[in-house]
Each structure stands twice: as C-alpha cells, then as structure tokens.
Amino acid sequence: MTSNPLVKIPPPQYRPLRVFTFDPSLNTSLDTAIINQMTLKVPWEKVSLGPVGEYLEVVDIDPASNAFYPPVDLENNYLLMQAGLSPSEGTPQFHQQMVYAVAMNTIENFELALGRKVLWSAREVNSENKFVRQLRIYPHALRQANAYYSPAKKALLFGYFPASTKESGRNLPGGIVFTCLSHDIITHETTHALMDGLHPYFGEPSNPDVLAMHEAFADIVALFQHFSHPEVLRHQISLTRGDLSRNNLLAQLAQQFGEATGKRGALRNAIGKKPDPTALQKTTEPHDRGSILVAAVFDAFLTVYKTRIADLNRIASGGSGVLPRGAIHPDLVNRLAQEASRVSQRILGMCIRALDYCPPVDITFGEYLRAIITADYDTSQLDDEGYRIAMIESFRQYGIYPSNVRSLSEESLLWFTPEDDGVLENFFNNDRLMMIHEYESKQRNSQNEEGQREAIFNAELEFRDRLQNWIYGVPETTDLLVDRLERQGNSLKGNYESRYPDPKNRSEVVEKSMNIRLWPDEKLRSICADNEGNPLIEVNSVRQAYRIDRRRQAHVDLVVEITQERRGYYDPQIQADVDSGKITGDAVPDSDFTFRGGATLLIDSQCGKIRYIVNKHVGSNRRLAIQRRYLSEPEISSALTYFGNPQRNFFKGRGEQREPFALLHGGSALVED
C-alpha cells in the first residue's frame, strides 16, 4: 500500500508575537498590569535572525556600552509555539521582538488604508534614487532620553536612560527606561518613516505647521492604534462607563517616558484642554502645535462616537440616556467597544488616505483638513454618519482654517476639479494614457515577483522619468517608439508629432494648471534652471491610490507629485535683485534656504482624466515671506538646541544637524535634583 503524498500546507496568515500593550511601567500597578501584555497578529513572512524581513532589519548594537546583543530567532520552533518571547525589560531579544512586531503592525495599518505596498524613501547615490528594502531598527542606539527616525540613515534609533530621581512616577528613581519598549514610541517613529516615504519634503521646516504636522500625524496613528486592542478597549470603556472624554489610557501617549523625564504623567494626552480657537496663533513649538491638531482629530472621533452610542445609552437607561450608578453591563461594554473600534478605524483610515491628497511641499493644517474631506468624499459622497461634519466642526473649534476657501461647507473644502477647458485634455491624451496602462501592467506583474516592492519601485521610477521627459519634450528612443506603436497597430510615421506637443502647448498645460514654470520668467530668475536658463522640475513621486466606494466598486487613481525649487534669501532686497535679474551670473550669491513649489495630481487611471490638482505656486511671494520669517526669527522657531537653530541648520548643516527628528525629539531633558 503506497502512502498518499503529503498535503501541501499553506503558510499562516499571521505570526503571533507578544508585546507590552503600552510600556513596562503599567506592569507595576495592579489595575493596569492585567491589560499590559498582549499578542499582536503580525503579517506572516519568513524572517532571519534579527529579526530581518521584507520591510525591517533589526540590528542590536549598543555603541554606548560597546556591546552587540545576539539576535532573536523568531523561526525557532519553541518561540513559534508560544507567540515569541515573554515580555521582559531585561532581555534584549524581547526588545528586538517588540520593535519588529509593533513596527510591522503599523506598516500593515498603512497598507490596509492605502491599498498598496508601502515603500521607504529612496537613498540618493550619485544623484540617483536607489531602492531601500529594509528600514533598520536599532533598539539600543542611544544612551539618552530620545528616540527618532533618521531620514539619512533610513533607520529608527531608540535610546535608553535613567529615570529622574526627583519625579519618576511609577518608575524606579534612577532606574533604566528603554524607549524601545514603549508601544507608542515605536508606532510614532515608524509613522515618521512611513510618512517620509510618501512625502520626503514634509521634513523640511518651511512654515510652522510642517514639522508640527509630522509630529501630530505620528501621534494620531499611535493614538488610534490603541483602539485596535480589544481587551484594553473593553477595560477602559468599563472603567469610564463608556465616556471616553474622561481621562483614560486610550488618549495618553508614552506614559513611562513622560513620568521618567519628570512630567508627572504621559508625554502627551489628547484629553484635558477645552478647545481654544486662538491657541494655534500663539503656539509655534512643533510638539505643542501638533498637539492642537491631535486634539482636533480626537475630538472629531469623540463626537462621532457619542452619536453612535446614543441609542445604546437610551436602551440601557430606559430612555433617559443617563446610565444608572455602578458598573455597566458586560454586554453594553462589548457593544460600546465595538462602536469605538469601528469609529476609530474609520477616523484613522481617513487620516492616512488623506496623505495622497496633500500638496507635495509646505503642508498646512488647513490643507490637511481639505485633504481629509476630499479623500473621504471620494470614498463615500454621502456623509450620513457625520464623519466629515465632525472633522470640520472640530477643526473650527480649534481655530484651524484653510485658506482660499469661501466657507467651511464640505463643498468649499473639496479640492478643486480642473476646469474642462480643453487644455488639460492634452496632458493625458491617448498616448499618455497608454503610458499609464503600461505602468499599471508592470505594477500588476510585480505582485507575482518575489521582490515585488523593488519591482514596484523600479516601475514607478521608470514612469517618473518618462513623464518628466514628456513634460520637457524629450522624445523616447526610436526603437521604443516603434515597439509601442506597432503594438497599437500603427506605423511610426505620422504619430511622432502627436506624441509630443509643441513646447508652447506643453508649457500652457503645465503652467496654467499647476503653477509650475517651464520657461524662463523675467520676474522669477531665482527658480533653479539648467545651463540654458530653462527652469528645472522634478517628478518626485508616482504611486497608485486604491479606494472602494459605498457600492463596493474599486477605483484606482494615479498620484503624481511634481516639484520645483527656487533660491531663497533672508534679505528681501537680495531676493528681489536675484528675482528681477539685477544680480546675474557669478555675482548671484548662494541661497540661504530652498523654497519649493509644486503640484499633486490625482489622475483617473482608466480614462486619464485629471481629477484634482493641489498646487503650491513656486512664485508665491506670500509663502516665501512666511518661510523667510519662520527660518530667520529664533523666537518662533522650535527651541534652540546644542546645534543652534534647527530650522536654519536643516538647509545649511551637515551630519546630525540635518536630522530634523533628532532635533525635535531631543528636547526632553531629564528633570533632576
């Protein structure tokens, strides 16, 4: 009797890994210890020692101690059977496991919201963009109260430090605190890296909102990931009797870090202050300013949540809406938790998807609101559950207003649809549409390749180059043209000219719709140009945006970001002289900073229609004045550090001076005797 061949067992969908729900400090209190350990379901992948996977590489070098800690082996059979190592402050291998698990969980949330694989920002080598497969994570990189994402190193660096001996909260005075064991800090730093992959120029401090936006968005992701932990959610809802506007763990970030550095509580809290519409005008420090945006988004969540649970409260209270004293029923706890989880997931998805609808440079809070509203409108034109209204109302209460709108109505806040005047139709005609479809075909084929993220990166890079060449009017090679035309059933003759419109029409399309300069402008000679004086542009990002509407129909947009640079000067007179051409040639001084403009295009990939254009005019002297004032006045910059003014040093500094997040996060000094 012959035995049957073994049935091929598919790999599991997830790898369970144990982590701290918040951080180790909550293990020292009886009421929180029961919820402070959880098992994350991390997307399954084959990992090597480190762990090292497709997205992440954990390297545990401790320079301050001159030590290297042996890497954890998550493929070990014993660890596979028990959801990894047990949470432990004293085991470096658990530290490695936790940073990997939490970072992968954050990556998964982004991919679910965006509907595509995420890519890290490219590494520039000899003026060429190179694919970065893995983000490196160093759990013990620094002996200081800091953790940050390094755009230069493409790495997360976590520090460890002694807790304050004066005010240490639940920590041992002088005891060691590891930032790599804070769930919130890991999520926060991973989000910085993910955002840098989408918008590399959002790390350039061009106005008070830019760095604050980076910090706020990272906090928003960390905050709403709390609501994906069922046990914690039920525990806190039971404790607050469903009133999440009361102080609770779900609204707090980095409890241990805050207490260990003498802050007498969590590092940040989304609850506690009433909306102040004047606060934004008086606040410039990035974390403080970002906390206003976080509070606005969290208040929008609370508004929708309270609306969603009103019927449950009426049922549980016999119609009064006021719950009786005492613990609420476990069934009610479960239903309230379900609603809180559902609303938080929707809010988080709105915030992440909005990143594809932002301008490529110089983001403001008001523009982010418009991006949120437009992105959600594209998903569902009906706002029957009031999410968009809640966002608009909350932003208004916190004094966050967009510019260049007539009102705060949803209709006014939607990004503009280009006028149908026939000019833009030439931008993506049938030839350009074929180029889009070729790009999409490569994207689909890459899904079946082992190195699919690198294949996606290469396809995007090729499309960016071809699109940029087309805008400039640089023809493709004859062989490539013949090949493409033959596949269309056409001959080469008679099609070449239609493929590349004359420079005047091309300039009209780009300059009119995107506020980007292709030809020399006598009033804007400070725009960076080639040797012949023609302004330079960069197609710096091309990606696909997937969305599913209320009818469960899938739509694919192409997101194209085009940017342009202009030399900026602190002296307005020098700026005017360079702009007008009074100073020319070798007499033109080096710029003090870079001023950028550009446009984000959302293009329907099926028909080639440009649905939205979100632009920032490179010729805007108003924006230039705002950036000049922000960079040159120390009193409105973030706190002066060891490196001096971080805004000024970002454009002129070297090494760590060019690390904006190291500077931002390095201000948490210990409070000592």
pLDDT interval class at 318 (50, 70, 90): confident
pLDDT tens digits, one per residue of 126-141: 878 899 999 999 999 9
Q: Is the N-terminal amide bond of 520 cis, ω within 30° of 0?
A: no
For position 9, what pLDDT does the model report? Answer: 84
pLDDT interval class at 506 (50, 70, 90): low
Q: Which of 353, 345, 244 is nearest to 303 (CA)?
A: 244
Tokens of 628: 């000049």
Residue 506 near residue 499, CB atoms below 8 Å: no
pLDDT at 472 over 70: yes
Residue 160 near residue 178, CB atoms below 8 Å: yes
For position 2, what pLDDT does the model report? Answer: 57
CATH of 205-415, one of 1.10.390, 3.30.70, 3.40.50, 1.20.120: 1.10.390
pLDDT at 189 over 80: yes
Report the percentage of the chain scoring pLDDT > 90: 57
Distance CA 471, CA 473 (A): 5
Q: Residues 83-107, buried b or exposed e (16+ Cβ, 10 A)?
A: bbbebbbeebbbbbbbbbbbbbbbb
Tokens of 228: 């994906």
Q: Strands 176-178 and 252-253: what pairing?
A: unpaired
Cα Rg for the chain, rounded, in angstroms?
26
For position 313, what pLDDT does the model report? Answer: 87
pLDDT at 310 over 60: yes
For position 642, what pLDDT does the model report? Answer: 30
C-alpha distances (whole Å) from 298 to each of 138, 216, 512 are 31, 11, 38
Q: Which of 347, 353, 349 is nearest to 385 (CA)?
A: 347
pLDDT tens digits, one per residue of 327-377: 889 999 999 999 999 999 999 999 999 999 999 999 999 999 999 999 999
Choice between 263 and 533, residue whose per-residue pLDDT is larger: 533
Residue 133 near residue 54, CB atoms below 8 Å: yes
Residue 239 near residue 32, CB atoms below 8 Å: no
pLDDT tens digits, one per residue of 530-551: 888 888 989 999 998 888 777 7
Q: Strands 176-178 and 67-68: what pairing?
A: unpaired
**3-state SS assignment for residue 547:** strand
Average pLDDT on 73-93 reads 96
Average pLDDT on 266-273 reads 80
How would CATH label the architecture of 10-198?
A: Roll (3.10)
The ranges of the chain annotated as CATH 1.10.390 are: 205-415
The ranges of the chain annotated as CATH 3.10.170 are: 10-198
pLDDT interval class at 667 (50, 70, 90): very low
**Residue 508: CB atoms within 10 Å:** 15
Residue 503 near residue 428, CB atoms below 8 Å: no
Distance CA 656, CA 148 (A): 12
For position 648, what pLDDT does the model report? Answer: 47
* Residues facing 129 on adjacent strands: 124
- Per DSSP, the chain holds a count of helices (H) and strands (E) of 22, 17
pLDDT interval class at 497 (50, 70, 90): very low
